[in-house]
Structure 1
């Protein structure tokens, strides 16, 4: 009797396992053959599920965004204030710092690769457009500039590792919360 495979679940497993391979070798350096070997499948199997390395990367990153949004939804929806939500977000990055750093560096490398290839419609920009409205809703922020500020701070803290910095995520959460509270009218921080 032939083995029954849940194709969607198997495809998601491949995507999940692909992240660490991309993070170890980089987007540009890894080939489909190396991905297949690292995943323990044949190159033909990999092409059966994904038409290209770029498709794997894009679908993998979209899965990661969806997972993060589900995590934030579970972590943030019950919290009473913007400050508590910011602290919870920073706790997430404290727990997931290495993976978040790998994800950010991969996105930067992929963006550079697309630019070199002359692709101007960056999938990274599409990811941000997908993430933005849900992040605004989860945090209860109506000001897009404020959301961009928060994302920039988080990305900057992750990149501070390049300089050898050790990040105290909770101290940063307190500082950012105080900054945002002074920026927003009192009614919007509750």
Structure 2
């Protein structure tokens, strides 16, 4: 009886193993043949699942983003307040700092080998960005999309600071501080809304 292969699961497994390959050998340098060798499959098998390197990379980005969201949500499990949740995000980033620095190198290298006119905020990268923003809003209980974008931008900025070797940056400290700042900001917003509502009623 022939072996039944779950092609979707197998595709995801191949993508999951690509991180170290792209980290060790840049996107611009590595070939499909080398990727196949690194994964322990034939080039024919690799091309069966991915027609070219660019398609493989875009699917890789989407897959690792979903894995990151699952891991981050597990880290935040049981956290109740916004302060607790943000501090948990800081711990998650601190524990996985090396991974995120390598991922930044991988993404920047990919971008360097693309047409400069091709917008980053389209296709798979827009989907990944939208998914990350929505997951952040859901987990933290934040409705304001601009605030979610601010937090994602802060995360990227802190990772870049660590990539440059800035030893003054501590993820845990930064997110503990962010929690206090956001609590003050949200409290102020709530107070302003109540004040505006009372004024409207008086009018």
TM-score of the aligned structures, taking structure 1 as reference length: 0.87
Taking the aligned partners of 2:2 and 2:179, their CA distance within structure 1 comes to 57
C-alpha offsets along residues 53-111 of structure 1, whole Å, 9 cap, x if unaligned? 11211111111111122223333353211111111111111111111112223223323
SS at match of 2:29: coil
Following superposition, the deviation at residue 20 of structure 1 comes to 1.0
Structure 1 residue aligned with 2:113: 113
Structure showing greater radius of gyration is 2
Taking the aligned partners of 2:37 and 2:186, their CA distance within structure 1 comes to 51
Q: Does the CA-based 8 Å contact 2:90-2:171 persist in structure 1?
A: yes
Structure 1 residue aligned with 2:75: 75
Where in structure 2 are the equivalents of 1:1-190 lying within 5 Å? 2-116=2-116, 118-120=117-119, 121=122, 123-166=124-167, 167-185=169-187
Which runs of 5 or more structure 2 residues have no equivalent in the other structure? Answer: 191-203
Taking the aligned partners of 1:183 and 1:150, their CA distance within structure 2 comes to 14
Following superposition, the deviation at residue 119 of structure 1 comes to 2.6
Taking the aligned partners of 1:72 and 1:142, their CA distance within structure 2 comes to 19
TM-score of the aligned structures, taking structure 2 as reference length: 0.82
Which runs of 5 or more structure 1 residues have no equivalent in the other structure? Answer: none
